[in-house]
């Protein structure tokens, strides 16, 4: 393995962890000696990577250091292009435009050989659309990011409409539908709402009383508990 590739692997390993990682654990995962690890960390720090820590305490990479785009592998580029194509087909207009813009920005800074990998990506997705959505789904995404309540009018499978105040948590994208996971104040429980059945959405300029990260953990635990045995 070249030294440049080894430095990139070290950066990626640090990027995946928020808590400090002991030097011996880093060295073992990278397959290098502890002395080589210390030299590599010093090299990255000299190049501007905000790696904090010291021997015996562990190391952590602070946010803000940008990897050179030329370091993407062919597989990584194909994964990014595939993801953007999936969003372009399954997402709403704003998400589709964002996916296209992201790939265009990436393509603009790549060297010629890697740019060709973007233009000739070998992976694609089926070109069929999800169920049409009547509301602006970006309103839901904004409320999730802000941890704000939403008031929605929801039509169930029988055509009955109800007005709900919800705490939006996650949007799941399936082949033909998007499903919003949320806490429903009316039911006092977690509920799933098909986005194509939401007839209106009104953002409320108020946070819900609990942190989204905690609610998502509870919701995931609920899904595991409800899953059929043996799955």
The first and second tokens of residue 194, run together, are 């098909």
Please give the share of the chain, as a percent, with pLDDT higher than 70: 93
Fold of 137-226: SH3 type barrels. (2.30.30)
User: For residue 160, how many other CB atoms are within 10 A of its CB?
Assistant: 8
Q: Helix (H, G, I), strand (E, B), or coil: what is residue 31? A: coil
What is the reported pLDDT for 214? 95
Tens digit of pLDDT for each residue in 125-164?
Answer: 877 767 788 899 999 999 999 999 999 999 999 999 999 9
Give the model's pLDDT for residue 226: 81
Mean pLDDT to the nearest integer, 82-105: 87
pLDDT of 112: 74
The three state secondary structure string of 87-126 is HHHHCCHHHHHHHHHHHHHHHHHCCHHHHHHHHCCCCCCC
3-61 carries CATH number 1.10.10.10: yes
Domain range annotation of the chain: 3-61, 70-119, 137-226
Q: What is the mean pLDDT of residues 36-56?
A: 86
Q: Are 10 and 41 in contact (CB under 8 A)?
A: yes
Check residue 78 and report its DSSP letter.
Answer: H
Give residue 2's pLDDT.
66
Which is higher by pLDDT, 93 or 187? 187
């Amino acid at each position: 393995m070249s030294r440049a590739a080894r430095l990139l692997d070290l950066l990626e390993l640090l990027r995946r962890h928020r808590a400090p990682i002991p030097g011996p654990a880093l060295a073992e995962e990278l397959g290098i000696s502890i002395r080589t690890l210390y030299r590599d960390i010093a090299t990255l720090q000299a190049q501007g990577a905000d790696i904090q820590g010291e021997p015996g305490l562990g190391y952590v990479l602070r946010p803000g250091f940008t990897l050179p785009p030329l370091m993407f592998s062919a597989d990584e580029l194909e994964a990014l292009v595939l993801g953007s194509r999936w969003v372009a087909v399954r997402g709403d207009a704003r998400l589709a435009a964002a996916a296209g813009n992201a790939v265009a920005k990436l393509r603009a800074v790549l060297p010629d050989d890697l740019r060709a990998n973007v233009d000739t990506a070998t992976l694609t997705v089926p070109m069929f659309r999800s169920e049409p959505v009547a509301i602006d789904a970006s309103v839901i995404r904004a409320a999730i990011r802000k941890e704000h309540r939403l008031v929605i009018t929801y039509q169930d499978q029988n055509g009955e409409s109800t007005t709900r105040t919800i705490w939006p948590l996650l949007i799941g994208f399936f082949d033909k539908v998007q499903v919003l996971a949320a806490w429903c104040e009316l039911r006092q429980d977690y509920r799933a709402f098909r986005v194509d059945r939401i007839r209106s959405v009104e953002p409320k300029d108020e946070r819900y009383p609990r942190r989204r990260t905690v609610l998502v953990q509870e919701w995931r635990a609920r899904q595991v508990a409800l899953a059929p045995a043996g799955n």
